[in-house]
């Protein structure tokens, strides 16, 4: 998985086509989408029109809660592949744990493993999983079968219980909403650190996450911002910078729908 990807949450229609096409032209090779985003067809169109060889791309999609049952997951993934114009995706995630545990996690994981066996996805993983849910998934399939847990992490929600458990287990994490919907751009500490490096608070936030070993999938529609975000791959923050950002955690969760699990 390329460590810096292009998120497509809340991007639809021509907007997402332009964003993905532009990102690919700048060098992005990791594209993140989901069934519930309603943009898989447009993402597929942008990929097809980009001219970038399939072998160079890493494409992630996520199974929505309505399709977590054993008899629904693979048909829904095949529909996603049709929309994406792909024979297989690189990674398929359980987007959210089944609300209220309506579908046993073991059933969903077994269906995902079957999808992998059939060649529909090269890897499987989790998203929005708590410590207890990660523990259950690892107990069923083993940590080596799980490519990542994609969770909300940014300077204002550092999700330390999840991070500590995942690290102890050797489970990779992907940080979504890494820029906290743009809130990082006005934080005084991040502004000060950015000024010291001659860069932007967005680059600082992304670099802070990358230096901790997370993958990041910022969403951006502007080529200038997409290009700037790529700069986070070469920005090196000092130990003092990292320590200052660590103090910004205030438990500010931005993604918590009514069906979310009981957060750690």
pLDDT tens string for the chain (264 positions)?
A: 999 999 999 999 999 999 999 999 999 999 999 999 999 999 999 999 999 999 999 999 999 999 999 999 999 999 999 999 999 999 999 999 999 999 999 999 999 999 999 999 999 999 999 999 999 999 999 999 999 999 999 999 999 999 999 999 999 999 999 999 999 999 999 999 999 999 999 999 999 999 999 999 999 999 999 999 999 999 999 999 999 999 999 999 999 999 999 999
**pLDDT confidence of residue 81:** 98
Question: Which pLDDT score is estimated for 217?
Answer: 98
Mean per-residue pLDDT over the chain, rounded: 98
Q: DSSP secondary-structure letter at 89? A: B
- Computed from CA positions of residues 67, 124, 31, 95, in that sequence, does the dihedral angle turn out positive or negative? positive
Question: 6 has which bridge partners?
Answer: 31
Q: 67-74: which pairs have CB atoms within 8 A and are 24 or more residues apart?
A: 67/35, 68/94, 68/98, 68/103, 68/107, 68/108, 68/111, 69/103, 69/107, 69/108, 69/111, 70/107, 70/108, 70/110, 70/111, 73/108, 73/111, 73/112, 73/115, 74/111, 74/114, 74/115, 74/118, 74/120
- Which residues are marked as active site? 37
Please give the Cα distance from 206 to 112 (Å, whole number).
30
Strand order across the beta sheet in which 6-7 lies:
6-7, 30-32, 58-63, 91-94, 124-127, 146-152, 173-176, 215-216
Say what the pLDDT of residue 158 is: 98
Q: What are the structural domains of the chain? A: 6-246 (3.20.20.100)
Burial class (CB in 10 A: 0-12, 13-18, 19+), 91: buried
State yes or no: 197 annotated in a binding site.
no
- Residue 149 is predicted with a pLDDT of 98
């Amino acid at each position: 998985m390329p460590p810096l990807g292009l998120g497509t949450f809340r991007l639809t229609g021509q907007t997402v086509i332009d964003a993905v096409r532009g990102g690919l032209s700048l060098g992005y090779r990791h594209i993140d989408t989901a069934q519930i985003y309603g943009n898989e067809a447009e993402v597929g169109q942008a990929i097809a029109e980009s001219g970038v060889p399939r072998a160079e791309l890493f494409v992630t999609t996520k199974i929505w809660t309505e399709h977590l049952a054993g008899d629904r997951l693979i048909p829904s993934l095949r529909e996603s592949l049709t929309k994406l114009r792909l024979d297989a995706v690189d990674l398929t995630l359980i987007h959210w744990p089944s609300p209220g545990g309506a579908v046993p996690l073991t059933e969903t994981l077994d269906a995902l493993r079957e999808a992998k066996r059939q060649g529909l996805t090269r890897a499987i993983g989790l998203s929005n999983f708590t410590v207890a849910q990660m523990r259950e998934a690892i107990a069923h399939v083993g940590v080596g079968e799980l490519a990542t847990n994609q969770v909300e992490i940014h300077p204002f929600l550092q999700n330390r219980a999840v991070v500590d458990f995942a690290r102890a287990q050797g489970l990779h994490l992907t940080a979504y909403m890494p820029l906290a919907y743009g809130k990082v751009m006005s934080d005084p500490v991040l502004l000060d650190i950015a000024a010291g490096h001659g860069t932007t608070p967005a680059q600082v936030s992304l670099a802070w996450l990358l230096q901790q070993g997370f993958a990041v999938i910022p969403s951006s529609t502007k080529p200038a911002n997409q290009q700037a975000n790529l700069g986070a791959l070469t920005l090196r923050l000092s130990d003092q910078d990292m320590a200052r950002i660590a103090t910004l955690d205030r438990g500010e969760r931005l993604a918590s729908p009514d069906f979310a699990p009981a957060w750690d």
